[in-house]
Amino acid sequence: MNEVAAPLVSIVIPCYNHIDFVQDSIQSVIDQTYQNIELIIIDDGSKDESVLKIKEMIEKCERRFTRFEFRHRSNKGLSATLNEALEWCQGEYFSVIASDDRMLEDKTQVQVHHFLDNKNCIGVCGGTEIIDESGTVLNRIISKKKSYSFDEIIMLKHDLPAPTQMVRLKCVKETGGYNVKVKLEDWYMWLLLSKKGELHYIPQILSQYRSHENNTFKQISTMYDGRIQVLSFYTDEPLYQRAKKR
């Protein structure tokens, strides 16, 4: 790919209390083989010293990226933080990586190529490695190539791992962005986007998901409440009752 003509990719790192991991996350974006990237980091009112860790990386980020922005302010929540980032993004593609996760070096390159080869695709995810707090790989999760429909996503019959996501920025903005009252922002957005175009999964490891005691998915009641909340937007859908029961 001619990097001069390569589309700009907006990568966002929302940070909250990840002092031990945030530099690792930032470095994984710096190490991307794809060059035309803007990086937006927003610290959402961390109570630890995450901001200091991020500031130590600013000079390196300013040298590396086409555009770079770092903001920190009081806590507003993840969805509000992502909406704030969307206002700043100028790329053709939009990708979010949590401040405790990591991208593999070729993630951006692979996904941009996939978009260029699949004009109807508006979002693409892939496989993940599960790592522990020290970065040791615990497991690899990879599925078959697949295009997911709204019906499959609402029934939770999908594999679209949040750490691996990349979507067309225009399509995210057309949905109106993230609902600040919603806890499971990724599932909420997948359902909105699935009404607009194809969501693909490619059988390649793209990112590393860090497993530690504060992971949201380990909080069963929070996950359940979050899913019921998202389903409340779809009470008129034919699959609503089945999805709620599931």
The whole-number pLDDT of residue 147 equals: 97
In the block, tokens 């692979």 appear at 110
Judge contact between 172 and 86, C-beta under 8 A. yes
Tokens 């700009």 belong to 8
Instruction: Please report whether residue 79 resides in a domain.
Output: yes
* The model's pTM: 0.93
Instruction: Report residues of the chain scoring pLDDT below 50.
Output: 4
Residue-wise pLDDT for 126-147, tens only, equals 999 999 999 999 999 999 999 9
Residue 114: predicted pLDDT:
98
Residue 3 lies in a domain: no
In a domain, 41, yes or no: yes
Q: What is the pLDDT of residue 222?
A: 84
Question: Is 184 among the domain residues?
Answer: yes
Q: Domain for residue 1, yes or no?
A: no
Does 4 fall in a domain?
no
Range of the domain at 40: 9-245
pLDDT given for residue 214 in this prediction = 63
What is the CATH number for 225?
3.90.550.10
Rounded Cα distance between 187 and 229, Å, is: 11
Residue 111 lies in a domain: yes
The total number of structural domains in the chain stands at 1
Q: Is residue 121 one of the residues assigned to a domain?
A: yes
